């Protein structure tokens, strides 16, 4: 199996490390797995005989670029290298999908399987991409796009095939959950946000997180993949956490409750908003964990939790999708 990695940033480095670490596990498919090209926003490197994953990581860390060749466009790389699977890990662009959307579309049009954790293409054009994959008999897999290491998409679509999923409610953004958890301890919003930035949980521009945009993208992906809806980011009712006051946190505590940013999706609901959650409820977790409660018709509520971010954690979800593709090929 020949892999091209698009958007070789933090998650890309994590996947390269995981691929190196799990070589023995992948060997059971009697098929060599190698990275034949990788590119970031500035550079690329390609070798049809395979690139050393750890050398890619080391070069990126030491020089800031994955390759020595200047990148004209990712499409040029996709057209010039023979490959089987595109692993697309470019940063999310919710305005127009960015280069990531072009990469995914181009790969699918050419009948290539795609594994992505990029939420932009999925939140904006899920239906079109899914139809394109079906038309070209290609696989589009995206477990890591929601919840990072927390299994939810494949859990619902594969392990719970006999169930009717009624609704999914969850905490899908660890940054917001960390901020609200610190506010539970009496910290003002701005101080909690600054602490999150200092610890690396929040970006210098935290708007994607605190305005609910990141969670909304994930709700769209769940709505389309699990509930077979045809919705996009613009269909989500979004309220972030910037309006959550210290007074509201204190009032909730008086009633043995906490406030958490909850994404909810069902056949009729598509919403992101701060909610009152009783203490002791599965969704009252603190810290940076992601958690989801899946309501089904037969098994009732099923709760899953895990790290929603992190390069190795997210890479674990990419690996599971890659193995699923290898299973089908076998």
Choosing from 135, 185, 218, 307, which is the catalytic residue? 218
At 130 the pLDDT is 97
Name the pTM for this structure.
0.95
pLDDT in tens, 11-34: 999 999 999 999 888 877 888 899
At 329 the pLDDT is 79
At 30 the pLDDT is 80
At 319 the pLDDT is 96
pLDDT of 206 higher than 80: yes
Q: Give yes or no: 218 in active site.
A: yes
At 29 the pLDDT is 80
Q: Please state the rounded mean pLDDT for residues 87-101.
A: 96
pLDDT of 323 higher than 90: yes
Q: Please state the rounded mean pLDDT for residues 301-318.
A: 92
At 309 the pLDDT is 82
pLDDT of 122 higher than 80: yes
Cα distances (Å, whole numbers) of residue 24 to 27, 28, 52, 83, 134: 5, 7, 15, 21, 31
Q: Please state the rounded mean pLDDT for residues 160-183.
A: 96
Q: What is the dihedral of CA 70, 73, 79, 83, to 10 degrees?
A: 70
At 4 the pLDDT is 98
Q: Please state the rounded mean pLDDT for residues 299-312.
A: 91
Q: Is 77 exposed, middle or buried (0-12, 13-18, 19+ CB in 10 A)?
A: buried
Predicted confidence band at 141 (pLDDT cuts at 50, 70, 90)?
A: very high
At 312 the pLDDT is 93
At 232 the pLDDT is 96
Percentage above 70 pLDDT, the chain: 100
Predicted confidence band at 274 (pLDDT cuts at 50, 70, 90)?
A: very high
Percentage above 90 pLDDT, the chain: 91
pLDDT in tens, 215-246: 999 999 999 999 999 999 999 999 999 999 99
Average pLDDT along the chain: 95
pLDDT in tens, 31-86: 889 999 999 999 999 999 999 999 999 999 999 999 999 999 999 999 999 999 99
Angle made by CA atoms 174, 90, 329, in degrees to the nearest 5: 100
pLDDT of 302 higher than 90: yes
pLDDT of 175 higher than 90: yes
Sheet strand arrangement including 140-141: 69-70, 43-51, 34-39, 2-6, 85-88, 113-116, 140-141
> Domains in the chain, start-ordered, CATH in brackets?
2-149+311-329 (3.40.50.720), 156-307 (3.30.360.10)
pLDDT of 330 higher than 80: no
């Amino acid at each position: 199996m020949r892999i091209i990695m698009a958007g070789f940033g933090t998650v890309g480095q994590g996947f390269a490390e995981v691929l190196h670490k799990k070589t023995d596990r992948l060997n059971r498919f009697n098929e060599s797995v190698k990275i034949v090209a990788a590119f970031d926003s500035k550079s690329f490197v390609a070798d049809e005989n395979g690139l050393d994953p750890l050398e890619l990581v080391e070069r990126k860390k030491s020089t800031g670029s994955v390759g020595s060749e200047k990148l004209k466009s990712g499409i040029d790389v996709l057209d010039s290298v023979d490959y089987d699977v595109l692993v697309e890990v470019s940063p999310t662009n919710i305005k127009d999908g960015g280069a990531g959307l072009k990469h995914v579309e181009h790969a699918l049009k050419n009948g290539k399987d795609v594994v992505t954790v990029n939420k932009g293409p999925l939140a904006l054009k899920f239906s079109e991409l899914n139809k394109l994959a079906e038309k070209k008999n290609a696989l589009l897999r995206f477990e890591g796009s929601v919840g990072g290491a927390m299994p939810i998409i494949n859990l619902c679509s594969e392990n719970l095939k006999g169930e009717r999923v009624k609704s999914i409610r969850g905490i899908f953004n660890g940054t917001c959950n960390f901020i609200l958890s610190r506010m539970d301890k009496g910290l003002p919003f701005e101080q909690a946000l600054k602490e999150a930035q200092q610890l690396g949980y929040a970006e210098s521009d935290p708007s994607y997180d605190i305005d609910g945009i990141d969670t909304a993208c994930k709700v769209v992906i769940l709505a389309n993949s699990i509930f077979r809806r045809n919705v996009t980011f613009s269909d989500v009712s979004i309220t972030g956490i910037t309006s959550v006051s210290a007074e509201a946190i204190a009032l909730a505590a008086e009633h043995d409750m906490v406030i958490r940013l909850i994404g909810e999706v069902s056949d009729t609901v598509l919403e992101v908003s701060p909610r009152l959650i009783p203490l002791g409820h599965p969704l009252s977790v603190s810290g940076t964990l992601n958690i989801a409660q899946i309501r089904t018709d037969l098994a009732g509520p099923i709760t899953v939790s895990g790290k929603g971010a992190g390069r190795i954690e997210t890479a674990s979800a990419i690996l599971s999708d890659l193995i699923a593709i290898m299973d089908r090929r076998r």
